[in-house]
Copies of this chain bind each other. A is one copy, B any other.
Amino acid sequence: MSALAPRPVPVALIGLGGVGRAILSQLLSPPLNTRFNLILIANSRQSLSLPLPASPLTPANYAPILEKYGTPIDWTSIISLLSGHSDGPGIFIDSTGSDIVPSMYTQILSMGINIVTPNKKAASSNQDLWNSIIEKTYPNSPVMYYGESTVGAGLPILSTLKDLIATGDEIEKIEGVFSGTLSYIFNEFSKVEGGDVKFSDVVKVAKDKGYTEPDPRDDLSGTDVARKLTILSRLVPTAPSLPEGYASVPTQSLVPDVLSNASSKEEYLDRLAEGDEYFSKIREEAQKQGQVVRYVGVIDLKEGKVECKLGKYPTDHAFATALKGSDNIISFTTKRYSPRPLIIQGAGAGADVTAMGVTVS
């Protein structure tokens, strides 16, 4: 193996939150540590060139070392470090949630650097930004942009969709529960066997367990799901165009009217129970029809619709029976996979599995 083994690929990792730390750990451990050469790490303030003169970096010691030896972030030198590396231009991993880093993607790609990212911002915003990124990548140029983990974390969602299309299948419908947070909330709120738990109580438990963003409205707005649908839609040649990205996707918000005037996260959380009646009614109507309620994203190519909404599903539907915990479930109905769809299910969030999606890329 060693005789023909290529030189390890130089990598810069920007962003050291939960996912970034898991990527760091995977890159520094077998089997990836022989394939990749981590030449720089950075958090939102500081960056550090590697290797260090003294001891090697480990997932356990990086934080104090970055604190002690790091220098303020300088994008120009990060980019030239990667583009000028003797083992080739390497890979820029953007593991931030930043809006600013994606605005540099076209420049980074122009320098011959590949980009791998779980950051949904670039692929799900304005179409012109996205076009400018795509123009810089293969087949127009040798560099690649990999965003596998932007949808479904480590689940093989984008790769499966790409394979279906590349082999000439026709997509008819993509439908799924794309948010681990909203999966958990509705799996608890609307069970096959019924129940009368209050929506506000479920949201509070989800928040206490750390399943929601610090402000649960960031999940309940549906924006994250709309971003994922945008990324999927842009892979489907026959999908409706979304010029403003996620903002062009009709998206039902789960912050009921009665709570829309809450001016702060605290006020919203305090008044959460005021929305209970709204959700209880929806559940009641569904139960009368033998259905459960799920928050889903739907790309319906026959109807030419992309939307995020509360959907009702029969109690024997996979979204009712198979779905548990905070799993994502995504169903692809295609010319080949019909009437029974291709279904992929599993944890669609979490640092380890998202990092897997990144390192797979």
A residues touching B (Cβ–Cβ < 8 Å)? 1, 4-5, 26, 29-32, 139-140, 154-156, 159-160, 163-164, 166-169, 316, 318, 321-322, 324-325, 327, 332, 336-337, 340-347, 350, 352-353, 355-356, 359-360
Give bound CA distance, A342 to B346, whole Å.
Answer: 4
Chain B residues, CB < 8 A from A318: 321-322
Q: Which 6 A/B pairs are nearest by Cβ-Cβ distance?
A: A342-B346, A321-B321, A322-B322, A343-B345, A167-B356, A163-B360
A140 nearest CB across to chain B (Å): 7
A19 nearest CB across to chain B (Å): 13
Task: Name 13 A/B residue pairs within 8 A (Cβ), A-sorted.
Answer: A4-B139, A32-B168, A154-B167, A163-B360, A169-B352, A322-B322, A322-B343, A325-B340, A340-B346, A342-B345, A342-B346, A343-B345, A343-B346
Residue of B nearest to A344 (CB): B344
* Max count, chain B CB within 10 A of own CB: residue among A29, A30, A337: A337
Contact of A324 among B337, B340, B346, B352 (CB under 8 A): B340
A232 nearest CB across to chain B (Å): 16
Do B341 and A346 touch (CB < 8 A)?
yes
Chain B residues, CB < 8 A from A159: 156, 159
Contact of A344 among B31, B343, B355 (CB under 8 A): B343
Give bound CA distance, A350 to B347, whole Å.
Answer: 29
Chain B residues, CB < 8 A from A327: 340
Residue of B nearest to A1 (CB): B139
Contact of A30 among B5, B168, B345 (CB under 8 A): B168
Give bound CA distance, A262 to B251, whole Å.
Answer: 62
Do A168 and B29 touch (CB < 8 A)?
yes
Chain B residues, CB < 8 A from A343: 322, 343-346
Known contacts A32-B168, A321-B316; A347/B353 CB under 8 A = no
Give bound CA distance, A164 to B360, whole Å.
Answer: 8
Give bound CA distance, A320 to B180, whole Å.
Answer: 23
Chain B residues, CB < 8 A from A344: 156, 342-345
Residue of B nearest to A358 (CB): B167
Chain B residues, CB < 8 A from A347: 336-337, 340, 342
A162 nearest CB across to chain B (Å): 9
Known contacts A4-B139, A140-B4; A337/B353 CB under 8 A = yes
Do B360 and A336 touch (CB < 8 A)?
no
Give bound CA distance, A340 to B348, whole Å.
Answer: 11
Chain B residues, CB < 8 A from A341: 346
Known contacts A343-B344, A352-B336; A160/B156 CB under 8 A = yes
Chain B residues, CB < 8 A from A352: 169, 336
Residue of B nearest to A345 (CB): B343
Give bound CA distance, A155 to B345, whole Å.
Answer: 13
A103 nearest CB across to chain B (Å): 26
Do A167 and B342 touch (CB < 8 A)?
no
